[in-house]
């Protein structure tokens, strides 16, 4: 059983705590090396990664093909800025639009930046196409959402911890309970330009909406001339067993926001996608990012997309997810209220603090993190194999029994 409180581990934890801001409460696991679904800490102990950097490592750690693309590109040119063109961005965006089925993409770096991009695009559409009076546009968002940490985005949050003493907030957001299609219908006004929605809420505690809700929300948007913005930063690229979670409901968003796994676990890459008439509302000088679309990011993301498609990660996620879900549900315990999710986006809701289970798992070699106090998220890289699944389920049974 790994001793996670070794002096060596403690040294790194102390460094972080002394010199780093305390804006996270991480596991006491100091990673030195990783490969596929496995992590090794500074004492040489091995852990199964069930966090996957919040789904940024769908392809598995250190995927050789993505690593090779990174190294090769780093040896030629890494950064140009958009003041000039580079020979990688266009290829990357051609692949990204091909894989996602949109006409055009706007590349950024972090998820929050891509969400901001979508908000700006939707508002511009509201003014220039829908004819909303300037500064009156409203975007409908949902309770318990997570779209990032910028000041505008936290203005669209209902989570007190994300907002406390960070005001004043950006106006223009209307709140509707997640999963309530009637409330959504009622909340739409002539000034509504868009809804912004996670097809499954990740940070909110792996909340799967009622069957048919996403489809109805989309139909409501069509009926009222409102854009449907899907934030698939976490659910995207195979995580939920489909390429995108919206595919499950046969919904094609007007704006698709992607990030996380687009960088293949190597580099921050995000994008907002839309069809031509919408995306062309952006004109030179309207919006941008120094690092967005840089050659290194583009080379990495192109390889990351190739791996998702060629290694059929969505169907692997569906298979592994079903197997894990079945195993978790077969382990009955009075402490487990619900096991839910889709594909490899799985949440275990407990009647005790999920931190306790996370700790018991960590001591036995599984790294998983609690979210929203009572939910433990199980989200390994999509390349997880049967042996690792068996290890996960055995460890889960053992850890649960100790609580
Ligand atoms: C992680 C996440 C974001 C924010 O992405 P960052 O890269 O951390 O800025 C936005 N939306 C969802 C659904 C996410 O899971």
Decide: helix, strand or coil at residue 155: coil
Looking at 253, 282, 310, the residue that finishes a domain is 310
Query: How many structural domains are present in the chain?
Result: 2
Ligand 1 lined by 202 (C-beta under 6 Å): yes
Ligand 1 lined by 147 (C-beta under 6 Å): yes
Mean pLDDT of 10-26: 96
Centre of ligand 1 from the C-alpha of residue 362, in Å: 25
CB atoms within 10 A of CB 14: 10
Would residue 338 count as lying in a domain? yes
227 and 115 in a common domain: yes
Residue 22 is part of which domain span?
7-49+312-401
CB atoms within 10 A of CB 11: 11
257 and 216 in a common domain: yes
Mean of all residue pLDDT scores within the chain:
97
15 and 26 in a common domain: yes
Name the band, by pLDDT with cuts 50, 70 and 90, for residue 1: very low
Classify residue 171 as exposed, middle or buried by CB count within 10 Å of its CB (0-12, 13-18, 19+). exposed
Task: Please report the pLDDT score of residue 197 as a whole number.
Answer: 99
Would residue 56 count as lying in a domain? no
Q: Tell which residue, 309, 300, 319, has the closest CA to residue 380.
A: 319
Residue whose CA is at the smallest distance from ligand 1 atom 8: 111
Handedness of CA 275, 278, 279, 280 (dihedral sign): positive
Centre of ligand 1 from the C-alpha of residue 263, in Å: 13
Centre of ligand 1 from the C-alpha of residue 333, in Å: 32
**Percent of the residues in the chain that have a pLDDT greater than 90, as a whole number:** 98
Q: In the predicted model, is pLDDT for residue 363 greater than 90?
A: yes
Mean pLDDT of 42-64: 98
Name the band, by pLDDT with cuts 50, 70 and 90, for residue 372: confident
Ligand 1 lined by 146 (C-beta under 6 Å): yes
Mean pLDDT of 230-245: 98
**CB 110, CB 269: distance < 8 Å:** no
306 and 165 in a common domain: yes
Would residue 54 count as lying in a domain? no
Could you identify the atom of ligand 1 that is nearest to the CA of residue 145?
13
Looking at 310, 330, 354, the residue that finishes a domain is 310
234 and 115 in a common domain: yes
Number of continuous H segments (helices) and E segments (strands) in the chain: 14, 15
Give 242-293 pLDDT, tens digit per residue. Answer: 999 999 999 999 999 999 999 999 999 999 999 999 999 999 999 999 999 9
Pocket test for ligand 1, best of 23, 52, 108, 147 (most atoms within 8 A of CB): 147
**CB 225, CB 194: distance < 8 Å:** no
Q: Which two tokens stand for residue 146?
A: 């997570």
Could you identify the atom of ligand 1 that is nearest to the CA of residue 268?
7
Q: In the predicted model, is pLDDT for residue 88 greater than 60?
A: yes
Would residue 157 count as lying in a domain? yes
Ligand 1 lined by 115 (C-beta under 6 Å): yes
Task: Please report the pLDDT score of residue 4 as a whole number.
Answer: 55
Centre of ligand 1 from the C-alpha of residue 108, in Å: 13
* Catalytic residue numbers, as ranges: 146, 231, 260
Q: Would residue 306 be called left, alpha or beta, if left means φ above 0 and alpha means ψ between -120 and 50 degrees? A: alpha
Would residue 55 count as lying in a domain? no
DSSP character at residue 36: B
Looking at 310, 327, 348, the residue that finishes a domain is 310
Would residue 2 count as lying in a domain? no
Residue whose CA is at the smallest distance from ligand 1 atom 5: 111
Give 92-115 pLDDT, tens digit per residue. Answer: 999 999 999 999 999 999 999 999
Report the largest interatomic distance among the alpha carbons of the chain, rounded to a whole angstrom.
64
Residue whose CA is at the smallest distance from ligand 1 atom 11: 147
Centre of ligand 1 from the C-alpha of residue 166, in Å: 19
Ligand 1 lined by 56 (C-beta under 6 Å): no
Ligand 1 lined by 231 (C-beta under 6 Å): yes
Would residue 57 count as lying in a domain? no
Ligand 1 lined by 377 (C-beta under 6 Å): no
Could you identify the atom of ligand 1 that is nearest to the CA of residue 198?
13
Place of tokens 């779209």: 147
Mean pLDDT of 311-323: 98
Centre of ligand 1 from the C-alpha of residue 11, in Å: 30
Residue whose CA is at the smallest distance from ligand 1 atom 10: 147
226 and 98 in a common domain: yes
266 and 149 in a common domain: yes
Q: Where are the alpha helices (DSSP H) in 280-367?
A: 295-310, 313-330, 354-363
Mean pLDDT of 46-70: 98
């Amino acid at each position: 059983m790994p001793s996670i409180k070794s002096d060596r581990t403690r040294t790194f934890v102390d460094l972080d705590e002394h010199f780093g801001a305390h804006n996270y409460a991480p596991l006491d696991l100091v990673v030195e090396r990783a490969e596929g679904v496995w992590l090794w800490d500074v004492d040489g102990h091995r852990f199964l990664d069930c966090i996957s950097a919040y789904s940024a490592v769908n392809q598995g750690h250190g995927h050789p093909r993505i690593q090779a693309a990174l190294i090769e590109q780093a040896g030629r040119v890494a950064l140009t800025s958009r003041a000039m063109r580079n020979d990688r961005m266009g290829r990357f965006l051609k692949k990204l639009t091909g894989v996602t089925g949109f006409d055009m993409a706007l590349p950024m770096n972090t998820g929050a930046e891509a969400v901001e991009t979508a908000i700006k695009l939707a508002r511009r559409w509201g003014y220039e196409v829908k004819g909303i009076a300037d500064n009156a546009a409203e975007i409908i968002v949902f309770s318990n959402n997570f779209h990032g940490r910028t000041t505008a985005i936290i203005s669209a949050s209902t989570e007190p911890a994300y907002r406390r003493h960070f005001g004043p907030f950006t106006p223009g957001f209307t709140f509707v309970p997640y999963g309530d299609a009637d409330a959504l219908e009622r909340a739409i006004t002539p000034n509504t330009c868009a809804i912004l929605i996670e097809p499954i809420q990740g940070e909110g505690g792996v909340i799967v909406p009622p069957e048919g809700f996403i489809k109805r929300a989309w139909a409501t948007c069509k009926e009222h001339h409102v854009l449907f913005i899907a934030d698939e930063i976490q659910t995207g690229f195979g995580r939920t067993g489909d390429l995108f979670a919206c595919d499950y409901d046969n919904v094609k968003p007007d704006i698709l926001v992607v990030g996380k796994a687009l960088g293949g676990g190597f580099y921050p890459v995000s994008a907002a996608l839309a069809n031509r008439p919408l995306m062309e509302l952006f004109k030179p000088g309207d919006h941008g990012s120094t690092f967005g679309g840089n050659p290194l990011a583009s080379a990495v993301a192109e390889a990351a997309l190739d791996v998702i498609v060629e290694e059929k990660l969505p169907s692997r996620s569906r298979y592994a997810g079903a197997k894990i879900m079945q195993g978790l549900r077969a382990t009955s315990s009075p402490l487990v209220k619900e096991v839910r999710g889709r594909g490899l986006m799985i949440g275990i809701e407990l009647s005790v603090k999920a931190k306790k289970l996370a700790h018991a798992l960590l001591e036995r070699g599984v790294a998983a993190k609690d979210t929203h106090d009572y939910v433990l998220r199980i989200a390994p890289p999509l390349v997880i194999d049967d042996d690792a699944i068996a290890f996960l389920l055995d460890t889960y049974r053992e850890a649960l029994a100790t609580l």
